[in-house]
Chain A
Amino acid sequence: MLSKSQAKLFFLAGTAVFSMAFLALTVDSLAQVPGRSNEAAMTPAVVRGKMIWDRNNCMGCHTLLGEGAYYAPELTRVYTRRGPEWMRAFLKDPNGMFPGERRMVAYKFSDQEIADLIEFFQWIGNVDTNGFPFKPDLAPPAPAAPVGGSRLASAPSTYKTLCNACHSIEGQGGKVGPALDDLRGRYDAVTLDKWLSDPQAVKPGTAMPNLKLSPEVRKELVGWLLPTK
């Protein structure tokens, strides 16, 4: 039967062996970090963005690389999911983007800080995470693009970067807001413009954010959303 000294030896030897193995793997892992995390692309702006991320304890609500809290969305791939335009608009006024929804602390970031954060997210989006976050494997198949090419190809850039995050056309896009396939008959150009400039004035309590779009951008969007056949 096992004696106390044998048990002690098991503890000491086991600890020594596995500590050494762990240290060896650590050396190898750290050697691979610059390549896998694309460290060459870590500009001063990226580092400043990381410091803003730390200083405000963003991990206290969000996850990054899947680490943090589970109160707010996972952000590793937020740059590809939302795009810089959307992120800029969101960070300017986090609660304006999702009125009446779960709130984010209104940090009042400066334009420079927002730019740094976006750089940081762009950098981390390219880290090789062994596939995380994984593509949903039970998602309903996306509808095939219609014959003759998608109308989305001709969409103004504002639509592609902002509106598209919540709304869809021809089944492509976000599912938070209603589909925008056929707005004719439901809106005229004047109402749609008013809606885009101040959603709450048209429909109090709506989840549609006020994106503070310039009159030119609104005109371009209205023209594309309500084409004259």
Chain B
Amino acid sequence: MTYKSQRIAYLFFATSMLLLSLQIVYGFIMAFAHMGYDVLHTVVPFNAARATHTNLLVVWLLSGFMGAAYFIIPEEAERELWSPKLAVVQWAALVVVGVIAIVGFHFNWWEGRKFLEIPRPLDYLVVVDVLAFLLNIGMTAFKGKRLHTTGMVLFVGLFAAALLYLPGVITFENQVRDSYFRWWVVHLWVEGVWELILGSMLSYLLIKLTGIDREVIEKWLYVIVGLTFLSGILGTGHHYYFIGTPKYWLAIGGIFSALEPLSFLGMALYGVTMARRGGRNHPNKMALTWTVGCAIMSFVGAGFLGFAHTIPQVNKWTHGTLVTAMHGHLAFWGAYGMIVLAMIAYAMPKLTGRKRYSGWVPEWAFWTSNLGMLGMTGAFAVAGISQVYLERKVGMDFLVVQKALQVHFLGLVLAASLFTIGIVLYIVNFIGYGLPRAELGDASEDADDDNLVPAAAE
């Protein structure tokens, strides 16, 4: 840790850990409901569990991005954070809004718009909160000695994400128009500007962990985010096949969605190549494992599975089935969950001065969570493809098909248990790091192992 104010990141990382744990709990509630054990129906009906599960995901990722920004931007701008106080207030506000939203879901207080369920009054608070965040990192960047490309791409990504939240705050009476603009938020986030955030975090971690020249890494960062927008903007079209929008979206969405894996393939090659070429033998192997893992899994989940599901001839049958859940789980995990966990794995030794990155706990955390998530993806795939054939292609009754699918949710629960073990280990390790230490905030600090030859593990 070079600057004292980077410590703020810890608050956001800890929040992410807590919300991720809760997200898993709600995932299990839904998996059991799908198996026929909807025992919490009167307390947490499926739609409440679903809204909670997905919103917790969005908030823990955003909290992770914010923490990452508070950690990265001071280094990229080479100065302390503009206002650490505002950052703490902004964190507290985020938590309060999040808690109210999640509790509200359980009392039927929401908007029924997938991923944007947070009710309107809270939307405005989110906007204010994000503006405070952007002001803080913006001023830090602006007042800094310089702002490297990585920091700038991160800032632009976060700024554009805030801007794109606005179409989600408009009320539409026509369901078609409502849906059209809902994807401006959801799609242009996850397959657009969030990839800027992902790309810049990846590039930051690769610079720090591999020791490869910043210029080289940042050049490829431009190429990757360039490919993202080249494919991802018109790739929004894959959400416009069947919602009442013109037929030409089938062609446009189909072609540009097919290009979307390119940016993820770019990221995977980038991560692997840079990690192999890197001359530096960074002691924090786990951070590098998560970073390269993220680059690869985002290609598999977001790139490849997304491609397979958005071909119009396939999507015609899979649209609105569990196949979407299959793609969604591995995509969010690989692209966004893993980059946040990579960032935390990198930042925690810096923040606390403790080196808990070797030994079986962090290693098993990585492998069991990833194998668990791959297993879950497999279970969703079997359930989803069966649903497509029985319900959509043969025309069997919905509930009859769902009964037949119950057994696959047992598989899901087993894989999810493995995943949960991995996350528990990760969080145990996180807690073991303890709180950040103020005295580390000094540029001359020796514990900064980015510049060290392998240090002996604690």
A positions within 8 Å CB-CB of B = 2-4, 7-8, 10-11, 14-15, 18-19, 21-22, 25-26, 28-30, 32-33, 36-37, 39, 42, 47, 50, 53-61, 63-74, 98, 101-103, 105, 124, 127-140, 174-176
Residue of A26, A47, A57, A73 touching B47 (CB-CB under 8 A) = A57
- Whether B173 is near chain A, meaning CB under 8 Å from some CB there, is yes
Residue of A29, A50, A135 touching B175 (CB-CB under 8 A) = A50
Most buried by A among B112, B177, B322: B112
Binary contact track B228-255/A, C-beta < 8 Å → 1, others 0: 0110011010001111111111101000
Smallest Cβ-Cβ distance to A21: which chain B residue: B234
Most buried by B among A103, A124, A136: A136
Task: Report the minimum CB–CB distance from A116 to chain B (whole Å).
Answer: 13
Smallest Cβ-Cβ distance to B51: which chain A residue: A60
Contact of A136 with B242 in the complex, beta carbons under 8 Å:
no
Contact of A29 with B240 in the complex, beta carbons under 8 Å:
yes
Q: B250: which A residues are within 8 A, CB to CB?
A: 130
Binary contact track B213-227/A, C-beta < 8 Å → 1, others 0: 001001110110111
A124 to B243, CA, bound (A): 10
- Whether B321 is near chain A, meaning CB under 8 Å from some CB there, is yes
B positions within 8 Å CB-CB of A = 30, 33-34, 36, 38, 41, 45-48, 50-51, 108, 110-114, 117, 149, 173-180, 215, 218-220, 222-223, 225-227, 229-230, 233-234, 236, 240-250, 252, 316-317, 319-322, 324-325, 387, 389, 392-400, 402
Task: Given A136-B393, A175-B397, check contact A67 B218 (CB 8 Å).
Answer: no
Contact of B51 with A57 in the complex, beta carbons under 8 Å:
yes
Smallest Cβ-Cβ distance to B176: which chain A residue: A37
Smallest Cβ-Cβ distance to A47: which chain B residue: B173
Contact of A65 with B243 in the complex, beta carbons under 8 Å:
yes
A21 to B41, CA, bound (A): 46
Q: A73: which B residues are within 8 A, CB to CB?
A: 398-399
Q: B176: which A residues are within 8 A, CB to CB?
A: 33, 36-37, 65, 127
Contact of B112 with A130 in the complex, beta carbons under 8 Å:
no
Q: B229: which A residues are within 8 A, CB to CB?
A: 11, 14-15, 18-19
Q: B249: which A residues are within 8 A, CB to CB?
A: 25, 29
Contact of A71 with B226 in the complex, beta carbons under 8 Å:
no
Q: A19: which B residues are within 8 A, CB to CB?
A: 229, 233
Contact of B320 with A56 in the complex, beta carbons under 8 Å:
no
Contact of A68 with B320 in the complex, beta carbons under 8 Å:
yes
